[in-house]
Structure 1
Amino acid sequence: MNFFLVFQNKSFREEFSGGYLWAPKQNKFGQTFHHWNDMRNVSQGDVIFNSYNGQMVSVLIAKDDCKEHERPVGLDELDLWEKDGYMVEAEYINLVSPINYKDHMDSILQLQGEKYAPFNRAGRGNTGYLFRVTAELANFLFEIIERKNGHTKEQFFIHPITDKQVITEVEEGLDSTAVLDNTEKDLIIKARVGHSRFKNALLNKEMKCKICGVSDSRFLVASHIKPWSKSDNQERLDVNNGLLLCPNHDSLFDRGLISFNENGEILISPSLDEATKVFMNIHDFIQIQLTYQQQYYMEWHREKFFTFSLKTL
């Protein structure tokens, strides 16, 4: 297993949204650089620490070996690089509490390697994209992650979801059944996904209902923020597109009767009366923590699902 650090200041939103890393082979002058060519050294299961605006907001696990790939459509609007390049499909594991590299720079400089290191002697990120990380520095970063976020080192050493068996099983389950209403389709999806690595990945992050704290995994549902039917295949298996919820809160969330704003504050449909809110254990003072990546999906849920439910009142 190898370790890397990627600077994503220019392309974080696009690469997160697509679930990948991408670097060009050369610039418009025909020049190439080690921080692009090192993409070829990334293999399935490798760990990549990211940096966005000076902070580690995600840890990425390579889903497959690096491959040659043209510039993804999502990066076309940036118009920063040549067309031919290298791509690594990656699972983004998000940190609720981002880590500021400057707070630990003395130790980082001591532990990083001499060659192709991510930071210069002044403690600033070197100009470039992907840099090598020594095992010693990786272990140090894992320790900080565990202290601030609770993720253990071992959680990053499992292979991420690489196949599409879950998607195939769900789609086949829907196709092989008679005409279903939306509720029945949702039940099939949740039954299939609930036994998948998607739920296990959510359990590794939360281990309890995001809203009420119920921690018995038998009663926790792997709920998609952006619904299965509206998501592409990458989004369907993206752990950032999920919340662990108890059955009551899953039911409300799936129906668009509750959502959350950009600060994680609950939004409650006025169609719910006070008695229902008491029985369903929701109130106006609920606030949850959302990572940058979860906020991306929650914006969709809020604007396309929750707002729509209000219009139907």
Structure 2
Amino acid sequence: MNFFLVFQNKSYKEERNGRYLWAPQKNNTGQTYHHWTDMKMIKKEDIIFNSYNGKLVSVLVAKENCKEHERPTGLDELDLWEKEGWLVNVDYNDLEEPITYKDYMEDILKLQNEKYAPFNRLGRGNTGYLFRVSKELANFFFEIIEKTNSVLRERFQFENSIPEEIITQIESDLHSATTLDETEKETIIKSRIGHSAFKKSLLAVEKKCKVCGITDERFLIASHIKPWSKSSNHERLDVNNGLLLCPNHDALFDKSYISFDETGKVMVKESLDDTTKILFNINETMRIVMNERQQQYMKWHRDNFLNS
């Protein structure tokens, strides 16, 4: 499976209505560009992140391999390109809450490839249509989507479920792997589209929010103690680098408004006023139980909490 990002600012409405992507083969002087020719790389079930007006607004799934196709009639009125081109029919899965790239640009620039990447060093979208997305950056996008777009997450879980035996193998890797080859990495990444193996493994240990005890799995988030973008491959898969949290406590923990000391006692930022604490159900008497490995990861989070 490959991942891409498409900038559809000029043709979004037409392509969204027609449920396709299309790029010309050449311009009117006979020139072509990688951000057009890369359309030929798209295969059935590949994932394309859809950018419009500076935001990730949809996740597209290729319904078939890319094929040669004349410019669709829906694009004729734009009169922007030559007639011959490449077309991919796709399913558009719209996000409930579009993601603004600039809010995450520091991590995006670290995780994208150096060549044919969607964003330049200044954090602006590169001029062009289709760009390649690294597996690490795709994972990061899915991590954000998982936290903010529950309906889309459920849709992907249905459409992209993977065999139970693969999930079982992934769970074994989460507990015991020290190194991962490229095939294992790709399997892990694919699993994050729907079946969250990391969350599944955490649920095997404890089926409730670590802080407040909520047990409804629909509202439990698999939160990394040491963030995904700053972890090694092993740390990203280590079940000890995770806590199951409800949305309120995940938001506080993710943004370092709370952390936990060596005994598991909650640490709360002074900037949180009493009303916010009440509404988010957090108070200084709360305490969690951690094993030795979790305590090591929590030290990283605590240091960041104290220094931020």
**TM-score, length basis structure 1:** 0.50
Following the alignment from structure 1 to structure 2, what is the Cα–Cα distance between the partners of residues 153 and 143? 14
| Secondary structure at the counterpart of residue 9 of structure 1 | coil
Instruction: State the AA in 2 paired with 1:103.
Output: D
1:47 CA displacement: 0.3
In structure 1, the partner of 2:36 is 36
Following the alignment from structure 2 to structure 1, what is the Cα–Cα distance between the partners of residues 108 and 73? 35
In structure 2, the partner of 1:77 is 77
Following the alignment from structure 1 to structure 2, what is the Cα–Cα distance between the partners of residues 82 and 136? 35
In structure 2, the partner of 1:128 is 128
| Secondary structure at the counterpart of residue 152 of structure 1 | helix
Following the alignment from structure 1 to structure 2, what is the Cα–Cα distance between the partners of residues 93 and 136? 21
Following the alignment from structure 1 to structure 2, what is the Cα–Cα distance between the partners of residues 104 and 131? 18
In structure 1, the partner of 2:56 is 56
Q: Is the 8 A contact 1:142 1:153 kept in 2?
A: no
Percent identical residues:
65
1:90 CA displacement: 0.2
In structure 2, the partner of 1:155 is 156
Q: Is the 8 A contact 1:45 1:158 kept in 2?
A: no
In structure 1, the partner of 2:178 is none
Is the aligned partner of 1:21 residue 2:4? Answer: no
Instruction: Note the 1:237-252 alignment, pairs <5 A.
Output: none
Instruction: State the AA in 1 paired with 2:44.
Output: Q
Instruction: State the AA in 2 paired with 1:41.
Output: M
Following the alignment from structure 2 to structure 1, what is the Cα–Cα distance between the partners of residues 141 and 91? 18
Runs of 4+ aligned residues of structure 1 deviating over 3 Å after TM superposition are 151-154, 156-160
Following the alignment from structure 1 to structure 2, what is the Cα–Cα distance between the partners of residues 153 and 21? 24
| Secondary structure at the counterpart of residue 141 of structure 1 | helix
Q: Is the 8 A contact 1:38 1:130 kept in 2?
A: yes
Deviation by residue 1:255-295 (Cα, 9 ceiling, x = unmatched): xxxxxxxxxxxxxxxxxxxxxxxxxxxxxxxxxxxxxxxxx
Unpaired stretches in structure 2, ≥5 consecutive residues:
162-308
Following the alignment from structure 2 to structure 1, what is the Cα–Cα distance between the partners of residues 128 and 154? 27
| Secondary structure at the counterpart of residue 53 of structure 2 | coil
Following the alignment from structure 1 to structure 2, what is the Cα–Cα distance between the partners of residues 21 and 103? 27
In structure 2, the partner of 1:105 is 105
Following the alignment from structure 1 to structure 2, what is the Cα–Cα distance between the partners of residues 153 and 59? 13
1:158 CA displacement: 3.5
Alignment: residue pair count: 160
In structure 2, the partner of 1:206 is none
Query: Superposition RMSD on alpha carbons, in Å?
Result: 1.7
**TM-score, length basis structure 2:** 0.50
Deviation by residue 1:203-253 (Cα, 9 ceiling, x = unmatched): xxxxxxxxxxxxxxxxxxxxxxxxxxxxxxxxxxxxxxxxxxxxxxxxxxx
1:104 CA displacement: 0.4
In structure 1, the partner of 2:3 is 3
| Secondary structure at the counterpart of residue 159 of structure 2 | coil
Following the alignment from structure 1 to structure 2, what is the Cα–Cα distance between the partners of residues 115 and 153? 33
Following the alignment from structure 1 to structure 2, what is the Cα–Cα distance between the partners of residues 157 and 64? 19
Instruction: State the AA in 1 paired with 2:48.
Output: I
Unpaired stretches in structure 1, ≥5 consecutive residues:
161-313
Following the alignment from structure 2 to structure 1, what is the Cα–Cα distance between the partners of residues 158 and 143? 14
1:146 CA displacement: 1.1
Instruction: State the AA in 1 paired with 2:136.
Output: E
Instruction: State the AA in 2 paired with 1:117.
Output: A
Q: Is the 8 A contact 1:47 1:156 kept in 2?
A: no
Pick closer, same or farther for the CA change 1:135–1:156 going to 2, 3 Å: farther
User: Taking CA–CA contacts closer than 8 Å with sequence separation of 6 or more, which of the two structures ends up with the larger relative contact order?
Assistant: 1
